[in-house]
Structure 1
Amino acid sequence: MATITKRKWKTSKGEEREAWVLAFTDAAGKRHKEQFEKKRDAEARRTEVTHQVVTGTYRAEAASTTVDDAVTDYLKLLAGRRDRGEHVTEHYYRTVEGQLRNYVAPTEEHRLKQSEKTRIIFDGGIGTVKLSQCTAKVVGDFRDRLRDAGVGVVTTRRILGSLSRALQHAVGNDLLAVNPATNIRVTGKRGEGSKKVTPPSKADLAIALAQARGSLAVRVRLSASSGVRASELYAVRWKHVAFNAGELTIDGRVDAYKNEDTTKSVAGIRQVPLSSAMLAELLAWKEAAKKKEADDLVFPNTKGGFLDHKNILKREFRPLMKAAAAKAKEEGRKFKPFNWHALRHFAISLWIEAGLQPKTVQTFAGHSSLAVTMSRYGHLFPSDTHRNVMDQISPSIFGDGAQMAHDAEEAL
């Protein structure tokens, strides 16, 4: 039976103090005491702990362990797996660490760095909350504070996902009986959090390609042909290019820290058909390459290692956009700059335009589900001959840039 008693005492300065002491016995017959400043808090805890003892879900450690402790323990687990190479990359670890340390159980160092990036200063974390007090309502209120602070739907979902995994780890260590973050939903306004895909026009891509040279030109064409992500492009080796079969195999990626890993999901491992023109350009690129063995990278840096995407954007792609804009202005044409990932959108949108089946587009794009494909790219039209479709698409990438741009403008 749980009882509440008032305790009074005097401080060294003679000041009177009082507190409410909750005393109870767990299922194993062990006595416990917890002290509260307010009677209502003690009564709320008595109701909770009585239910936990009866149902066998009481955990003594939860009264002294905080969410911050659970987060710290979980990050140690991930760091160990990362160091042992057990499916935790440096990029993944830092992403989860950022979500937990910027929002859930913030440290001053992480909080300041996050505010510099997002201009959001978040002080509504739950790091000091005891696990015994971390209920579904506490997590739900935390979610609401995130949204009120301007954190988006998708980011809030990811933060709660990391919190849930940290608390599940605490459950596994017998610090909690039930994960309070399970089934906490994040909703937003209609359309909020959805990704609106805006691929570059054929005319804009043609103008950019007319200014691209060397490796950059090949990379842009391959990305606009196959829809590969930048991280996947940098991991492509010559063994992945099947010239006879006419397809490109994607089975890995390179993260921001130049660590090679598997694709984002199992669905990311795929074969994408290539047009005859793209295969011919890759073959010419291989013949001119210094290293062309099966395990050699198709697009290495000067030392034969992985390309750095940030460096590529700074030194090659953004200057390309400026050069294309300047050329278009000189010729009296319009040009709308686009980012690198838009090349992937360009490829997928052309597949849709050419009539590939929805499931086929999902497979070629490496999306985790058909719902992702449909929500981002809309209705698709059927087609049976994938290789022929790629050949139909290739003039948009390999044709005469000036003529393509002229034709596109004439059609407006």
Structure 2
Amino acid sequence: MATITKRRWKTSKGEPREAWVLAYTDAQGKRHKEQHDLKRSAEARRIEVEGQVRTGTYRAEANTVTVEDAVKDYLKHLKTRNERGEHVTKHYLKTTEAQLYNYVAPQPGRPVEFSGGIGTVKLSQCTAKVVGDFRDRLRDAGVGVVTARRILGSLSRALKHAVDNDYLAINPAAGIRVTGKRGEGEKKVELPAKADVAAVIAGAKGGMAVRIRLSASAGLRASELYALRWRHVSFNGGELSVEGRVDAYGNLDTTKSTAGVRQVPLSSAMLADLRAWKDQAKKADADDLIFPNSKGGYMSHNNAVKREFRPLLAAVKAKAKEDGRKFKPFNWHALRHFAISLWIESGLQPKTVQTFAGHSSLAVTMSRYGKLFPSDDHKKAMDAISSSIFGGAADGAQMAHETL
């Protein structure tokens, strides 16, 4: 049982002071004392502690360890895993660090200024309501649904790490959801026009031209494109094997999901392009990269976009304006959307599109590209079903009459 006693004393200047001391024993028989300025604060803490001890969820460290401490411990854990090569990429580490240090436990000097963090909150006080209020402050500050979900996800993983290390008994962020208005947060797929893609391909030269054509036909992510080696191209089988990707820091990693490992058929024209590109390559052995940088290593996508792709788009736009034509620039990832839209337009089934795109599930494919699949004539389908059952309108009416 917990007890509360009043303590009185005088300061060095002789001024009277008083506080309320909460004393309690945890489940392991260890005695604890906490001092509170107000009696109601001590009473609230007593009720909380007794409940935690009774249910076995009490953790002594939770009253001293803050959310910021838990965040730093989790990031240290991720850094260690990254250094060991245990499926934590540098990109993931930096992204998680940004989410936690910009919003959850804001640090000075960060690029984002957010005053609604919960870094100073003790783990013992970090309840579902505290996390829910934090979520609401994120949304009130203009943070979008998708970003808010990612931030809450990183917070939840940090708190789970605290649970695993016995600093906390229950993860208060586990059940918190981020909702928005209808349609908010949905990934809108913007498709470039065929004429615009054709204009860009026509204006591209050398390796940039091959990379654009391959991305626009095989639906590759940029990270997958730069990880390709010549052994991944089967000229006899007419297909491309996707087995990995390169992150923003030039590190080889597994595909985005297990479904990302896949084989994508290539057209005869695309195979001819790759054959010609291979014939002029300085190194074209099986383990050599198809699109290496000048030193033979992984190409930087950011550099390629900045130095080649954007100037190409600008040149194509200027030429279109000169010729009196319209041209709408697009980003590199739109080439992947373009390829998938062509597959759908050609009549490939949703499951096949999912496989070739490397989506983790059919639901992902349909949520992003479902509107592009041709819709059935539902009335026509119902008429056909009715005809097969009733044999026509007259027979149907007669059958209905006989059953009365």
- Give the TM-score, by structure 2 length: 0.90
Q: Could you tell me which residue of structure 1 aligns to residue 351 of structure 2?
A: 359
Post-superposition shift, 1:13? Answer: 3.6
Aligned to 1:392: none
Could you say which residue in structure 1 is the equivalent of 2:109?
Answer: 109
- What CA distance in whole angstroms lies between the structure 2 residues aligned with 1:52 and 1:134? 14
Contact 1:196 1:376 in 2 (8 A): yes
1:225 to 190, 195, 217: 217
Indicate whether 1:26 and 2:18 are aligned: no
Is 2:206 the partner of 1:199? no
Equivalent-residue separation in structure 2 for 1:146 and 1:13 (angstroms): 46
Counterpart CA distance in 2 for 1:153 and 1:354 is 34
The aligned amino acid for 2:32 is: H
Report deviation, 1:4.
Answer: 2.3
1:355–1:380 contact (8 Å) kept in structure 2: no
Give secondary structure in 1 for the equivalent of 2:182: coil
Distance 1:375 1:19 in 2: 59
Letter in 1 for 2:188: K
State the shift of 1:21 in Å: 2.1
For 2:94 and 2:119, locate their aligned partners in 1 and report how far apart those are by CA, in whole Å. 18
Q: Residue 134 in 1 paired to residue 126 in 2? A: yes
Residue of structure 1 in register with 2:324 after alignment = 332
The answer on 1:95 being equivalent to 2:95 is: yes
Structure 1 residues 67 and 133 mapped into 2: Cα distance closer, same or farther (>3 Å)? same
Distance 1:144 1:5 in 2: 38
Structure 1 ranges of 4+ moved more than 4 A: 379-382
Partner of 2:386: none
Q: Which moved more, 1:261-270 or 1:21-30?
A: 21-30
Shift of 1:380: 5.9
> What SS does the aligned partner of 1:378 have?
helix
Task: Give the drift of 1:90.
Answer: 0.7
Please state how far the C-alpha of 1:364 moved relative to its aligned partner: 1.0
Match of 2:200 among 190, 195, 208: 208
Matched, 1:70 2:76: no
1:87-146 CA distance string (max 9 Å, x none): 111111111111111111121123xx2x2xxxxx21111111111111111111111111
Specify the SS of the correspondent of 2:183: coil
For the 8 Å contact 2:245–2:253, the answer to whether it is kept is yes
Alignment partners' CA distance in 2, 1:39 and 1:350: 70
8 Å CA contact 1:356–1:380 kept in 2: the answer is: no
Q: How is 1:128-207 mapped onto 2 (pairs within 5 angstroms)?
A: 128-207=120-199
**In 2 relative to 1, CA 325–70 (structure 1 residues): closer, same or farther, beyond 3 Å?**
same
Q: Deviations over 1:227-268 (max 9, x none)?
A: 101111000000111111111111111111111111111111
**CA deviation map 1:190-237 (0-9, x unaligned):** 111111101101011111111111100000000000110111100000
Structure 2 residue 265 is the aligned partner of structure 1 residue 273: yes
Measured in 2, the distance between the counterparts of 1:154 and 1:37 equals 42
Relative contact order higher in (CA < 8 Å, ≥ 6 apart): 1
- CA displacement 1:302-323 (0-9 Å, x = unmatched): 1111111111111100011111
Partner of 1:400: none
Residue equivalent to 2:55:
55
CA contact (8 A) 1:354 1:381 kept: no
Letter in 1 for 2:84: R
Letter of the aligned partner of 1:87 in structure 2?
H
Q: Do residues 304 (structure 1) and 296 (structure 2) align?
A: yes
SS in 2 for 1:61: helix
Could you say what the CA RMSD is over the residues aligned between the two structures, in angstroms? 1.4
CA distance in 2, matches of 1:331, 1:308: 33
Once the two structures are superposed, the pairs formed by residues 283-322 of structure 1 within 5 Å of their partners are: 283-322=275-314
Corresponding letter in the other structure for 2:87: H
Counterpart CA distance in 2 for 1:284 and 1:352 is 29
Aligned residues of 1:49 and 1:58 also touching (Cα < 8 A): yes
Deviation at 1:42, TM superposition (A): 2.2
Give the Cα separation in 1 of the matches to 2:68 and 2:109.
15
1-structure distance, mates of 2:270, 2:190: 24
Larger radius of gyration: 2
CA deviation string 1:153-199 (max 9, x = no partner): 11111111111111111111111111111111110111111111011
Cα distance in 2 for partners of 1:173, 1:257 equals: 31
Give yes or no for contact 2:341–2:372 (8 Å, CA) kept in 1. Answer: no
The structural deviation recorded for 1:358 is 1.0
Give 1:401's aligned residue: none
Does the 8 Å contact 1:62/1:132 carry over to 2?
Answer: yes
Aligned-pair CA distance for 1:381:
4.8
Q: Which 10-residue stretch deviates more, 3-12 or 275-284?
A: 3-12
Query: Matched residues in 1 for 2:71 and 2:294: separation?
Result: 41
In terms of mean alpha carbon deviation, does 147-156 or 25-34 score higher? 25-34
Structure 1 window deviating more from structure 2 (20-29 vs 191-200): it is 20-29
346-355 or 4-13, which deviates more = 4-13
* Equivalent-residue separation in structure 2 for 1:369 and 1:35 (angstroms): 54
Number of paired residues?
A: 374
Q: Does the CA-based 8 Å contact 2:292-2:298 persist in structure 1?
A: yes
The answer to whether the 8 A contact 1:358-1:380 is kept is no
1:78 maps to a residue whose letter is: L
| 3-state SS, counterpart of residue 9 of structure 1 | strand
Aligned mates of 1:364, 1:53 — CA distance in 2: 54
Distance 1:43 1:156 in 2: 35
CA distance in 1, matches of 2:366, 2:13: 70
